[in-house]
Chains A and B, each alone.
Chain A
Amino acid sequence: MASIELRLEIEDLYTAYAATLDDDDLDAWPDLFTEDCLYQVIPRDNFDRDLPLALIRCESRAMLRDRVTAVRETTMFEPRYVRHLISNIRVSSETDGVIEAQANYAVFETMTDAYTRVFNVGRYLDKLVREDGRLLFSEKRCVYDSVLVPNSIIYPI
């Protein structure tokens, strides 16, 4: 059973994670990951059937930075706001300095001329490690429930 302090620390990491995406602070998003991290956005049906394809697959913090550059500089998209709600955080194991945690998430999307809609709902299956005293994600898998994506995924989940 993780200590209360560790639980609060983990919750802080998730809160910071959501804030980077929701507050358009994308450049800070990769800093929450280790340098050799693995980040994936995976439809539930691929996950359930052990099919390896992910919609986003970043195999390093550098790839996360390239994703940010793509959002900032290269991708053509209609402006939108996103809002992440992360809850039901569970710490499933803690071995050799690697914490396995999972959480439910919901991402809401608001386009300029439309009501807010539920954009993507699923769970985070994560591994966390401590580097220089800070907890970071060494692995994050975002497994989303509805395999049908409403048009495009611009911002990371």
Chain B
Amino acid sequence: MSVSHADNAPLVTWPNDGYDRIPYQIYTDPEVYRQELETIFYGDSWGFVALEVEVPNAGDFKSAWIGERPVIVTRAEDGSVNVIANRCAHRGVKFCHKDSGNAENFTCPYHQWMYDLKGNLLGVPFRRGIDGQGGMPKDFDRANHGLDKLQVHCENGAIFASFSETVEPFAGFLGPEMLGYFNRVFDGRELTLLGYSRQLIPGNWKLMMENLKDPYHASLLHIFLITFGLFRADNQSSVAMDDTGRHACLISKRGEQKHTDKTRDMKRLWEDFNLQDPRILDPVPEFPGDATVVMQTLWPSLIIQQQSNTLAMRQIVPRGPGRHELRWTYFGYADDDEEMTRRRLRQANLMGPAGLVSVDDSEVLKVSQDGIEPFEEAAAVAEMGGRETESQDHMVTEVGVRGFYKYYRQVMGL
């Protein structure tokens, strides 16, 4: 079913003035999706593109995405980090096919226009023609034909980029509290790259962001989290947001594997479940404070995962209204000993496309989209924990979802 848009009519009619109803149309409508790319992904926001440890040396590059646009993260000879569009300024060829590598420059295969690591156009074959015939016009200026160069910010080893010239500085974009949580994991220590995984999830990209702002489901859906107390509504926990509601953190402390009067609605808590090899759940404390899990969601499309000792950036790349790619980059710290690295690798069994916890989510997002698409006029309900959007010191709430849509409506003009 598709919804047609009359001229000047709003793209979407929101069911009420609040944030506790979410019209299904925003998960299905190609025009909404197009505006999201333009306004949100290519507008005034910072998108995660790589870790600095992925491009340590001059000439190193790494392919990445902002929205649906391919970009390349490079380390230039002067040590600077650059982010350039993977689109030849001549005829639009996506010229770099490699996920990562080392190069002195980039040459488009079509007409061999050549660019340096910062995206400046170095050379155009036959620029002066052959024997006075052909060639570029005399006023052709290479300086006007470089690759798109994005704004870049490096925050303690994480690289962010923006297509917008007017995006606010990164610290202001996050706000002090969210920057504090960010720097809890990115504390300035050198990182080490453990590896990647990628999955194509047949659900709208916002469903994934909601999932990580919704602690309500975690106590019900995920037997692994519930049973082993890794993330559960009766644990000491909170949902923190910045002033706009666009970023959030779910913060919690591990509880025990037992039923109490607070867990009676958690039908899936399995008291007698004993792992035959419990080493996948053998966490050691490594961050200041009580929290054993902080899941941070940064507008518009980044999830920073710290569950026990497994750390990952989960970047959402939208792939049309009905699906998105989730790109996981797992990391540790350069000063991890062998045992700590092995612990992180074991705990990674919980996460990713085959994760003992995460699979529940990728599967549930698919059936969410399956249910939403044929009922485009309906709306989702997000009233758990009230209808407001202030931070809350418990997790029986969908406040993070409401905060997200408060900002979404503002940015999208809906």
Show the binding face of A for B, using Cβ within 8 Å: 41, 43, 45-46, 49, 51-60, 62-63, 65-67, 69-70, 73-78, 147-154
Kindly identify which residue among B100, B356, B367 contacts A70, using a CB–CB cutoff of 8 Å.
B356
Q: What residues of chain A lie closer than 8 Å to B193, measured between beta carbons?
A: 51
Complex contact B349–A57 (CB within 8 A): yes
Q: B276–A53 contact, CB under 8 A?
A: no
Apart from A75-B356, A77-B359, what 18 extra A-B contacts exist at CB < 8 Å? A49-B100, A51-B195, A53-B330, A56-B349, A58-B277, A60-B277, A63-B280, A66-B280, A67-B356, A74-B270, A78-B366, A147-B197, A148-B198, A148-B200, A150-B199, A152-B363, A153-B354, A154-B354
Contacts of B359 in A (CB 8 A): 75-77, 152-154
Known: A147-B196, A148-B199. A56 touches B354 (CB 8 A): yes
Q: How many residues of B contact A (CB 8 A)?
A: 43
C-beta contact mask, B340-384 vs A, less than 8 Å → 1, else 0? 010001101100111110011011101100000000000000000
**How many angstroms between the C-alpha atoms of A56 and B353 in the bound complex?**
9
In the complex, how many angstroms separate the beta carbon of A120 from the nearest chain B beta carbon? 10
CA distance A51 to B362 in the complex (A): 24
Bits for B191-208, please: 1 = Cβ < 8 Å to A, else 0: 001111111111000000
Contact B196 A43 (CB under 8 A): yes
Are A59 and B363 touching (Cβ within 8 A)? Answer: no
Assess A54 versus B276: contact at CB under 8 Å? Given A78-B367, A151-B199.
no
Residues of B within 8 A of A74 (CB): 223-224, 227, 268, 270, 273, 356
Measured between C-beta atoms, what is the minimum distance from A63 to chain B in Å? 4
**For B346, what are the chain A residues with a Cβ–Cβ distance below 8 Å?**
57, 59
Taking a contact as CB atoms under 8 Å apart, the answer to whether B280 and A149 are in contact is: no
Given known contacts A53-B196, A54-B345, A77 and B277 CB-to-CB distance under 8 angstroms: no
The 10 A-B pairs of least Cβ separation, nearest first, read A53-B195, A51-B195, A62-B277, A62-B276, A153-B354, A74-B223, A46-B195, A149-B353, A55-B354, A149-B199
Q: Are A46 and B196 within 8 A (Cβ)?
A: yes
The answer to the question of B130 belonging to the interface, with a C-beta cut-off of 8 Å to chain A, is no
B198, B223, B224, B349, most chain A CB atoms within 10 A: B349
